[in-house]
Structure 1
Amino acid sequence: MTDDVARVHRVIGVEEHAWTADLRDALLTFADDDTVNLLSSRQPTDHRLREVGEERLARMDAAGVDVEVLSITTPGTQPLDASEAVPLARDANDFLAEAVRAHPDRFAAFATLPTPEPRAAARELERCVQELGMVGAQLVPLTRDRYLDHDSFRPVFEAAAGLGVPLYIHPGQPLKAVRDAGYGGFDDWTNLNLGTGGWGWHADAGLAALRLILAGTFDRHPDLQIILGRWGEMLVPFADRADLLSEENLTLQRRVIDYITGNVHVTAGGVLSHRMLAAAIDVLGPDRVMFGDDDPYRGMKGRFGGEGGALEFVETAPMSAEDRQKLGHLNAERLLGL
């Protein structure tokens, strides 16, 4: 794709991860999260998560990514006690803000929020947006055994709606009872992958978003927008079936599918699949799809790995030249104010 019309002007990665050494240590000590214990804390992933300078910029350049929207990797501070979560979230957000200040043309950032203390989480979101210039926040579905639709988390959604910023719902480890019953019974590595990146993560993230709809979150905040990775975390591809929840529902103001098409945006989240992109566009249209490389986890593997892989994925997407610009950067610029 060499002609000027087909050439994508720039690529923004909307799901790209980092963390701090202090947060890593607290998660290893207190959280009992297998994705931390067995995946993120291993070398070289731990180093790549903590590095937000020249090495990351070199990876971005090699892949053809112009801007990364940084976010603290799953599970953030959400599994920790409030006394740990509040200061660690603040420190992690200051770390992200410093990375953006050092390279303002290459990085933006989502805040991580200490949801074990919801009012503190709302205040932290306000600080991050109003003082640090962040473009929204990333959350995982669970804080201990509570999904995001629990009444206690309403201050967070009120703050996001008031600030006019989106919330990225990133997968997190499902409840232990669910992991044991639904994702166990195999060898340890298969159990881990079945319950996380192979299936469980995505079912749980889609469920968390659906629960937000059913709890009336978008009736209270009709303009609030959320983002899901992996082309909609099972919810968007299953939107027509999820709409059955609209039947005889006396509490919602709209049909479920109308919330999905009006309040949800999606990213690749490292799944560089044109087939899944096409399915997301079929449900949401071309104005709600964005690129995301899941740096540093994806490791530039597969057909679109290696030199220029991100740019190649966008430029060869089965869509019009105008819509490729939307996928590559225009939709992210509009939603996130970049």
Structure 2
Amino acid sequence: MKIIAIEEHVLPDEVKQAWNTIPGADDGTLGLNPGVIGERLADLGEQRLALMDATGVDVQVLSLTTPGLNNLGHHGIDLARRTNDLLAEAVAGNPSRFQAMAALPSAEAEAAALELQRSIEDLGCKGAVLFGRVGDKNLDDPIFEPTFACAAELDVPLLIHPQIPQASVRDAYYAGFGAPIDLALSTFALGWHFEAGVQFVRLILGGVFDRYPKLQVILGHWGELVLFYLERLVMLDRVSKLQRPLIDYVRTNLYLTASGMFSPAYLQQAIDTVGVDRILFSTDYPYQYRPGNNARHFIDGLELTDTTKSKLAHRNWEHLIGGP
């Protein structure tokens, strides 16, 4: 059975250099990419293909790792073009193994939409990745409106990838245990997931899906905590005055993916909540990489029909993007 992993990361040297040299570009997460992680992020050739084979993944959908180009201001415009050209080159070199999600210069509203259009129409990207806030501007801010309008017009999905919370939030909730623990707590342990989940909820409350009812977004890590608090979140219907019940946006505008959290229990919760047709597969390479055919063993070991497994493994993604 073909396995397509849709949240698999890259970090080109040029982007890493920009994070290191442009003031304010590194939000603290560059420290999460040392040693072998950094080497795997930079590689788009034989090593990556070999590790895909080792875990059982047939196709990686490549995307820039967090925080993307969000902190680069106008510097992100040309860098987005070069990054997306690089991704397209990797796909062209191995079209049966790679696809790509576009990187966007989100700090520049019109430029981000234009780059999304170019990446889809000229380069063949399958969608784009967003990283939540630009500075203090959340995803429901007007700065993102051209991107949402363009994605809806082109009928392509947007992956909301976690970003580290802003400094004031980190200082208030995630600090005090020493630098390594503070960074871990504010990112992969907890902070990332609250941050991304809140950004999705803000899209709903900000009326983005009312303005673009066919817009599709993807949340990793089984819904970035949103999935497990829907019983409380739906109470927003008492005050929100949205066009539809909140649960309807979850079930019609949201796709979920695993991000390497190979949990049958979380998968079942996702199926119960959004239905089997809205769940995608991902390994969160290289952060959650495990050898030993781990991805394939997870799919094969599920107590589901072969038809359902094929939906999770590749068919839902292919349907979302309109073909293989």
1:237–1:280 contact (8 Å) kept in structure 2? no
Gap runs ≥5 in structure 1? 1-8, 301-305
Aligned to 1:188: 179
2:84–2:103 contact (8 Å) kept in structure 1? yes
CA distance in 2, matches of 1:320, 1:66: 21
Aligned to 1:174: 165
Which of residues 115, 120, 134 in structure 2 aligns to 1:124?
115
How many aligned positions are there?
A: 321
Aligned to 1:200: 191
Which of residues 27, 32, 50 in structure 2 aligns to 1:58?
50
Aligned residue type for 1:64:
G
CA distance in 2, matches of 1:22, 1:160: 26
Which of residues 26, 31, 34 in structure 1 aligns to 2:28?
34
Which of residues 65, 70, 78 in structure 2 aligns to 1:78?
70
Per-residue deviation, 1:315: 1.2
CA distance in 1, matches of 2:48, 2:26: 28
Aligned residue type for 1:59:
L
CA distance in 1, matches of 2:270, 2:147: 27
1:122–1:159 contact (8 Å) kept in structure 2? yes
CA distance in 1, matches of 2:111, 2:154: 16
SS for the counterpart of 1:269 is coil
Judging by fraction of residues, say which structure has more helix: 2
Give the 4+ runs in structure 1 shifted more than 4 A.
none
Gap runs ≥5 in structure 2? none
Aligned to 1:47: 39
Name the TM-score, length of structure 1 as normaliser: 0.93
Per-residue deviation, 1:152: 2.0
The residue correspondences of 1:14-25 to structure 2 (distance < 5 A) are 14-25=6-17
CA distance in 1, matches of 2:6, 2:228: 20
Q: What percent of counterpart residues are identical?
A: 45
Per-residue deviation, 1:318: 3.3
Name the TM-score, length of structure 2 as normaliser: 0.97
Per-residue deviation, 1:320: 2.4
Alpha-carbon displacement from aligned partner over 1:122-150 (angstroms, at most 9, x marks no partner) = 00000000000110000001111111110
Aligned residue type for 1:258:
D
Aligned residue type for 2:70:
Q
Per-residue deviation, 1:29: 2.3
Which of residues 117, 136, 152 in structure 2 aligns to 1:145?
136
The residue correspondences of 1:211-226 to structure 2 (distance < 5 A) are 211-226=202-217
